[in-house]
Amino acid sequence: MKILLVFAALVAATCSEQLFVGDQVLRITASDEEQITLLRLLDEQEELQVDFWRHPTTPGHPADLRVPFSSLQAVKVFLESNGISYSIMIEDVQELVDEEKKAMMKSRRTERSTSTFNFASYHTIDEIYNWMDTLVDDHPSLVSKIQIGQSYENRPLYVLKFSTGGSNRPAIWLDTGIHSREWITQATGIWTANKIAEAYGQDPSITAILDSMDIFFEIVTNPDGFAFTHSSNRMWRKTRSINVGSSCVGVDPNRNWDAGFGGSGASSNPCSETYHGPYAHSEREVKAIVDFIRGHGNVKSVISIHSYSQMLLFPYGYKTAPAPHHQELNELAKKAVSDLAAVYGTKYTYGSIIDTIYRADGTTVDWAYDNGVKYSFTFELRDTGRYGFLLPSTQTIPTATKTWPALLDIMVHILEHPY
C-alpha cells in the first residue's frame, strides 16, 4: 500500500504538487451492516474526495480511509454522529511520503560510497560493477579498472588493477566467481579488493607488496553464469555458451584450460557440470584471462577462489605426479592454512588437487603452473557442506576476514621469493 502511495506522490511531485499535506488516514471499524452502508455512502460523496485504502466489507473488520485535509472535519463529524469508531492511523500523509522519499534517496546514495557498501549481503552484477567504479573513484592513485574481454553474452569482463606505478611489475592474479553459484567467492572478492585498497599505506605487508608488485583482481569472472544464478537457477555453475548439437548450455570454465585438457578428470558431455568444452580456451571468459596473462608476461602467481570445502589446493589436478615445486607449495599452503584456522570450525585441509579432492583436468591453476606461474593456488572457501553454495550472507565478512591472513601469507612469500 505504501508503495502505491509513494509512487503516486512521486508522480505528483514531478508536477511539482504537494498532494497530501495535512491529509490523514483513519482506521474505521464498522460494528454492523448499517454502518457498512453508511461508509459506502461516504465513498460516494465526490466533493469529499475520500480514498479507501482498504474498503469496508464486513462488520468488525477495519477499513482504512485517506481523508484530504479539507474534508477532515466533515468526515469526523459524520463518523462520530453515527457512532462509528475510528482511530488516526497516519497523522500527516505528506510527512510520511517525504520521509520515504528521503530514505530511498539516502539508501541509493549510501550504496554509492564504498565506506557504506553492505559487504554482508549478496549483490547483483550491476551492483558489483557500480561498486567497482566507486572503489576506483575512492582510490584513484592506486586502483584502476580494465576490461580484458567480453563474455559469451557480451558482458564486459572487468579486472581491478592495484598498482603504485612502475612498468609491467611482477604481478599477482586473483579471481573469484569463475563458478557462478559459489556466491561467497564474489562477495569475498569485493571485501578483499576493498581491503587491499584500504590497507595500502596502513598494513606493512600489503604496502611492501604493492610497492614492488601489481595485483590484478577479477571479481565476476563468469558474469553470464552469475546473472543466471540471480535470474533463473541459483545452482548454475558453468558459462552460458550454447553447445552445438545439444540442448544443454554451458562449459565448465575450470575444465576448459589447456592443461591435461579433455582427460577423464572432465566430461565430454555438454549436459555435464564438468563439461570441458569443444576445445581448450573455447570459452571467451577463459581465453580473455589466458591472453591477459600471456600478454602481461610477468605474472608470478594465480590464485583462483572457489567454494565450498575449506581447502587450499595447488597443482596438479590432471596428473598424480607431484609438481616440481610440490614441497615449497605444500609448506606454503600449510602455513597459510594455519593462519586461516585461527578459530575452530574454520579448519582447512591442503594438498594437491588430485590428492585432496579429485582428478580434475583442464584447470586454471594447472595451466598457469605449466606456463611458468609457480605460485598457483586454488582456495575452496566455507563451508564443508552444511550450507554449501547457499552460505548465509551473514558469513561473508567472517569468511573474507579469516581468509585474508592466508592470502597475505602467500603474497608475502611471493614478494620474498622472486623468480
Partner 1 sequence: AAMELPPSHYPASRAAALAAAYVCYRRGSAGRGLALRALGRAGRQDIDGVGHKYHLELVLEDVLNEDSTVNCTAEVLYHLGNKNIAPDVQFTLEGELKNTDEADQIFYNRIKSLEKELVAENIPDSHGNVPPEMEPVRLLAWAASGYVIWQNSTENTKFQLAQIKQVKQVKRSDKYLEFDYMILLHEMVSQEIIPWQMRVLWHPQHGVQVTQESRQPKHPWE
Q: Which of 16, 385, 418, 419 touches partner 1 (CB under 8 A)?
A: 385
Establish if 356 lies at the interface with partner 1 (CB under 8 A). yes
User: What is the enclosing helix (H) or strand (E) of 183?
Assistant: helix 183-199
Establish if 341 lies at the interface with partner 1 (CB under 8 A). no
Smallest gap from Cβ 240 to partner 1, in A, equals 11
- Binding segment for partner 1 (CB under 8 A), chosen from 55-63, 151-159, 371-379, 383-391, is 383-391
- Which member of 111, 182, 380, 416 is catalytic? 380
Q: Which of 349, 370, 397, 405 touches partner 1 (CB under 8 A)?
A: 349
Q: Which of 271, 324, 398, 417 touches partner 1 (CB under 8 A)?
A: 271
- Binding segment for partner 1 (CB under 8 A), chosen from 78-86, 316-324, 356-364, 368-376, is 356-364
Distances from the Cα of 89 to the Cα of 86, 96, 133, 390, angstroms: 9, 12, 43, 40
Establish if 401 lies at the interface with partner 1 (CB under 8 A). no
Cα within 13 Å of Cα(276), Cβ side: 21
Establish if 395 lies at the interface with partner 1 (CB under 8 A). yes
CA distance 289 to 216: 11
Establish if 259 lies at the interface with partner 1 (CB under 8 A). no
Q: Which of 30, 220, 249, 415 touches partner 1 (CB under 8 A)?
A: 249
CA distance 347 to 383: 10
Contacts (Cβ under 8 Å, ≥6 apart) of 301: 171, 172, 173, 373, 374, 375, 376, 377, 410, 411, 414
- 323 with 314: CB under 8 angstroms? yes
Compare residues 72 and 397 and give the one whose CB is closer to partner 1. 397
CA distance 253 to 261: 12
First to last CA, the chain: 65
My answer on whether omega of the bond before 369 falls inside 30° of 0, hence cis, is no
Residue 380 annotated to the active site? yes
Establish if 330 lies at the interface with partner 1 (CB under 8 A). no
Establish if 342 lies at the interface with partner 1 (CB under 8 A). no
Q: Which set of grid coordinates corresponds to residue 27? A: 482506521
- 387 with 172: CB under 8 angstroms? no
- Strand, helix or coil for residue 321: coil
- Binding segment for partner 1 (CB under 8 A), chosen from 28-36, 277-285, 289-297, 380-388, is 380-388
Q: Which of 351, 370, 405, 412 touches partner 1 (CB under 8 A)?
A: 351
- The residue type at 323: A
Q: Which of 158, 173, 350, 369 touches partner 1 (CB under 8 A)?
A: 350
CA distance 33 to 84: 12
Establish if 390 lies at the interface with partner 1 (CB under 8 A). yes
Residue 386: which of 377, 375, 376, 395 has the closest Cα?
A: 395
Smallest gap from Cβ 272 to partner 1, in A, equals 7
Establish if 340 lies at the interface with partner 1 (CB under 8 A). no
Between residue 110 and residue 149, which ones bind partner 1 under the rule CB under 8 A?
Answer: 121-122
Between residue 296 and residue 325, which ones bind partner 1 under the rule CB under 8 A?
Answer: 309
Compare residues 56 and 225 and give the one whose CB is closer to partner 1. 225
- Strand, helix or coil for residue 166: coil
Establish if 192 lies at the interface with partner 1 (CB under 8 A). no
Establish if 370 lies at the interface with partner 1 (CB under 8 A). no
Q: Which of 280, 391, 411, 414 touches partner 1 (CB under 8 A)?
A: 391
The 208-247 site mask, x for binding partner 1 (CB under 8 A), equals ---------------------xx--xxxxx--------xx
- The residue type at 228: F
Residue 156: which of 284, 281, 279, 306 has the closest Cα?
A: 284
Strands 62-67 and 311-314 turn out to be: unpaired
Establish if 272 lies at the interface with partner 1 (CB under 8 A). yes
CA distance 242 to 248: 7
Residues with catalytic annotation? 380
Q: Which residues are at the interface with partner 1 (CB under 8 A)?
A: 121-122, 229-230, 233-237, 246-249, 252, 267, 271-274, 309, 345, 347, 349-351, 355-358, 384-395
